[in-house]
Amino acid sequence: MPLQILKYNPGIVKDITEYSAGKNGPYWVDSDLVRFKNGYPEKLGGWQKDVIYGLNPSGASTSTEISIEGIARRMVYWRSSTDGEDRLAIGTHNHLFIYLNGLLYDITPLRKTSAGLSNPIATTSGSTTVTITDNSHGATTGDWVVLSGTSATGGIAADTLNDYYGYQLTVIGANSYSIVVPTAATSNVSAGGGTVAIKYLIGNAASLGAQSAVPALGWGVSGWGESTWGTARVVTDADVALDNSSWNLSLWGEDLIATVRGGAIYYWDTSAGVTNRAVLVSSITGADSVPTVARVTTVSFPDRHFIAGGCTIYDSVEVDDMLVRWSSQEQFEKFAPTATNTAGDQRLEVGTKIVAMIAAREETIISTDEAVYGMTFVGGDFVFSFRLLATDSGAAGLNTMISIDGDVYWLGKRNFFKYDGIVQELPCPVQYYVFDRMQKNFIEKTTVGHNKAFKEITWFYVSNDNPAGTINPEPDSYVTYNYAENAWTVGTLDRTVWSDSFGARKVPFAIDPYGHLYEHETGTSANGSAMNSYIEGSPREISENGETLYIVDQVIPDVTMTTSTSLSLYMNTRKFPNSTETVKGPFTITSSTEKVSTRAKGRQISMKFESTGLDDKWTLGDFRVNSRQDGLR
Segment 566-574 mean pLDDT: 91
- Ranges 83-87, 131-135, 233-237: which has the least confidence: 233-237
pLDDT of residue 603: 82
The structure's pTM equals: 0.94
Instruction: Please provide the CATH number assigned to the domain covering 110-201.
Output: 2.40.30.20
Beta-strand pair 407-411/401-404:
antiparallel
**How far apart are the two ends of the chain, measured CA to CA in Å?**
20
The DSSP code for 328 is B
Structural domain boundaries of the chain? 4-45+532-629, 110-201, 436-522
Instruction: Give which of 552, 539, 541 is closest to 630, Cα–Cα.
Output: 552
Residues 146 and 164: their CA atoms lie apart, in Å, by 7
Q: What gap in Å lies between CA 34 and CA 12, rounded to an integer?
A: 10
Strand intervals (E) in 13-52: 27-32, 34-37, 40-43, 47-49
| Percent of the chain at pLDDT exceeding 90 | 84
Is the pLDDT at 111 greater than 50, yes or no? yes
Nearest to 74 by CA among 251, 205, 241: 251
Q: What is the pairing mode between strands 27-32 and 344-347? A: unpaired
What's the chain's average pLDDT? Answer: 93
Q: What is the largest CA-CA distance in the chain?
A: 93
Number of H helices and E strands in the chain, helices first, is 3, 53
CATH 2.60.120 fits 4-45+532-629, yes or no: yes
Say whether pLDDT at 601 is over 90: no
405: Cβ contacts below 8 Å, ≥ 6 apart: none
Least confident segment among 124-138, 208-222, 475-489, 608-622 = 208-222
Q: pLDDT value at position 467?
A: 96
Residue 632 has a pLDDT of 54
Residue 241 has pLDDT above 60, yes or no: no
Kindly tell me the burial class for residue 309, based on how many C-beta atoms sit within 10 Å of its own C-beta (0-12, 13-18, 19 or more). Answer: buried
Q: What's the whole-number mean pLDDT along residues 186-190?
A: 98
Q: Please tell me if the domain spanning 4-45+532-629 has the same topology as the one spanning 110-201.
A: no
pLDDT digits (tens, 9 = 90+) for 299-331: 999 999 999 999 999 999 999 999 999 999 999
The alpha carbon of residue 105 and the mean position of all alpha carbons in its chain are separated, in whole angstroms, by 21
Mean pLDDT, residues 224-250 taken together: 67
What confidence tens digit (pLDDT) does each residue in 510-539 have?
999 999 999 999 999 999 999 999 999 999
Rounded Cα gap, residues 488 and 27, in angstroms? 11
Q: 340 — phi, psi (to 5°)? A: -115, 5
- What's the pLDDT score for residue 235? 46
Quick one: pLDDT at residue 229? Answer: 61
Give the residue-averaged pLDDT of 107-136. 98
SS3 474: coil
Give one DSSP letter per residue of 331-364, joined into a string: BTTB-S--TTS--EEEE--SSSSEEEEEE-SSSE
- Of 317, 372, 328, nearest in space to 349 by CA: 372
Q: How far apart are CA 418 and CA 408, in angstroms?
A: 6
Judge whether residue 332 has pLDDT over 80.
yes
Distance of alpha carbon 629 from alpha carbon 546, whole angstroms:
12
Q: Write the CA distances from 463 to 240, 326, 436, 439, 470, integer angstroms.
A: 20, 37, 9, 5, 10
Residue 14's Cα: distance from chain center in Å?
24
* Overall average pLDDT of the 326-355 stretch: 98
Pick from 284-288, 385-389, 395-399, 621-625: least confident:
621-625
Spatial separation of the C-alpha atoms in residues 47 and 510, rounded to whole Å: 9
Q: 74 has which bridge partners?
A: 91
Positive or negative, the Cα torsion across 302, 303, 304, 306?
negative
Mean pLDDT of 451-459: 98
SS3 40: strand
pLDDT for 238: 47
Share of the chain above pLDDT 70, in %: 94
d(CA 591, CA 514): 37
> What's residue 237's pLDDT?
47
